Structure 1
């Protein structure tokens, strides 16, 4: 499913994705099964980098990519906020235009009413009564004048309210414009953080020889397997037998079809994803909109005990909720790990779990 390859029909892609998931789950899912952590040993032609030094590199890379993940959440949140503020400013601008048009029409009507009153009200009421041939005509005219006066007062009051509304709209638009500018600055700052952390990680990795990179990959896999084994051996899945909801199945199917696609920070597909871009779009495809970032998914979605977890639920990782993955059953997840990696299947316990949330609770 990588870029540049022939596009398969959707049904075929689903089958292949399902096969990949089943194969991965077969390996990941047996509670109580211990994973043998490989001990990468330098070959005879290996460089001077020891396993201890490579482990230090692994931990450093983990910290750098974690920092990039946190900054990515900041970027996504700022982007979401700027889009929201922009839409609100456009709506306010439309209301201001409509308010000005309404005010102009009210002024026109009030002017016409005032002119009519002036033309009919040049003499005192007593004079109109004495000069009138029929007192009833006078009373009818007086009633119409009174109605006109009331209508004019109503027009003036509506003009005042419209003017106040316009002033409020203008203040609101100004405040939202300042928030928009603040959001843009936050977005730019987060982008710099991401690029800095990723560049530093790539620079660190580029110093390693091919054989050292292979040993580093083995260390990463060993650390993940060790964590997954400990998680499974804890008995966390012992009584877990929950089936996915209809929407949950659709979300898992979508995530499965993205296997092999590259990670890209700030991306929501369809060619690349970051972690929360993958989970949010998977649930959009299932007919349920959810927050864009992993931190907001943790804050806003209903939290579920691990013992009640079912496929389609989202597992939030790290104390700062900086990573998210989709649980697919049998102790496995699908997630977009980090820059330089692709959407993949992994052990649900291979990273520090903060908690579980359910989009369709």
Structure 2
């Protein structure tokens, strides 16, 4: 009787195994949105590398590259070179991104600094509590530890 039950369930088990094999091998085609998520993650990683390549470039208010940047100019330039156009200012970029809790942030996400007056600064999350950013007049593009708890994270789609 046990043998018969196993034989009867064989097509069901085979179907589950085949479905699991397809998910494992071809993964992104069976999970809705997974292809887009993977492309967005790849684009964010590329934007992070582009921002890092601008290390030492001087800050200039309103500058969008390729040799001088302000904070949102650096993020905009980096994502544009990676294939995604962002709005011009940090506040507009914040409104253009998907909110991400700090616990699930990933490299390439945008880090927005805020006060009671709103969003005032943006950088690209580099992992380990650090960002690439163009900090202020007289400074250069650099990797720096996040210095405030008044931050929000946004993911570029």
Give the alignment's TM-score, normalised by structure 1.
0.31
Q: Does the 8 Å CA contact 1:316/1:323 hold for their aligned counterparts?
A: yes
Distance 2:98 2:136 in 1: 26
Q: Does the 8 Å CA contact 1:315/1:353 hold for their aligned counterparts?
A: no
Aligned CA-pair RMSD:
1.3
User: Across the two proteins, how many residue pairs are aligned to each other?
Assistant: 116
1:351 and 2:135 aligned: no
Q: Secondary structure at the match of 1:334?
A: strand
Distance 1:352 1:337 in 2: 17
Distance 1:354 1:245 in 2: 21
Report what 1:259 is aligned to.
Answer: 55
Distance 1:286 1:258 in 2: 14
Return structure 1 stretches of 4+ with deviation > 2 angstroms: 351-354
Q: Does the 8 Å CA contact 1:318/1:352 hold for their aligned counterparts?
A: no
Deviation at 1:331, TM superposition (A): 1.4
Deviation digits for residues 95-127 of structure 1, max 9, x if unmatched? xxxxxxxxxxxxxxxxxxxxxxxxxxxxxxxxx
Report what 1:330 is aligned to.
Answer: 128
Q: Secondary structure at the match of 1:322?
A: strand
Distance 2:50 2:79 in 1: 8
Deviation at 1:352, TM superposition (A): 4.2
Deviation at 1:354, TM superposition (A): 3.0
Deviation digits for residues 316-356 of structure 1, max 9, x if unmatched? 002210100110112111100000000011112x1343310
Gaps of 5+ in 1: 1-243
Q: Secondary structure at the match of 2:92?
A: helix
Q: Does the 8 Å CA contact 2:76/2:88 hold for their aligned counterparts?
A: yes
Report what 2:22 is aligned to.
Answer: none
Q: For residues 1-361 of structure 1, what are the structure 2 equivalents within 5 Å?
A: 245-319=41-115, 320-348=118-146, 350-360=147-157
Distance 1:287 1:302 in 2: 17
Deviation at 1:297, TM superposition (A): 1.1
Distance 1:285 1:353 in 2: 29
Task: State the structure with more CA Rg.
Answer: 1
Distance 1:354 1:250 in 2: 23
Deviation digits for residues 116-139 of structure 1, max 9, x if unmatched? xxxxxxxxxxxxxxxxxxxxxxxx
Q: Secondary structure at the match of 1:303?
A: strand
Q: Does the 8 Å CA contact 2:111/2:152 hold for their aligned counterparts?
A: yes
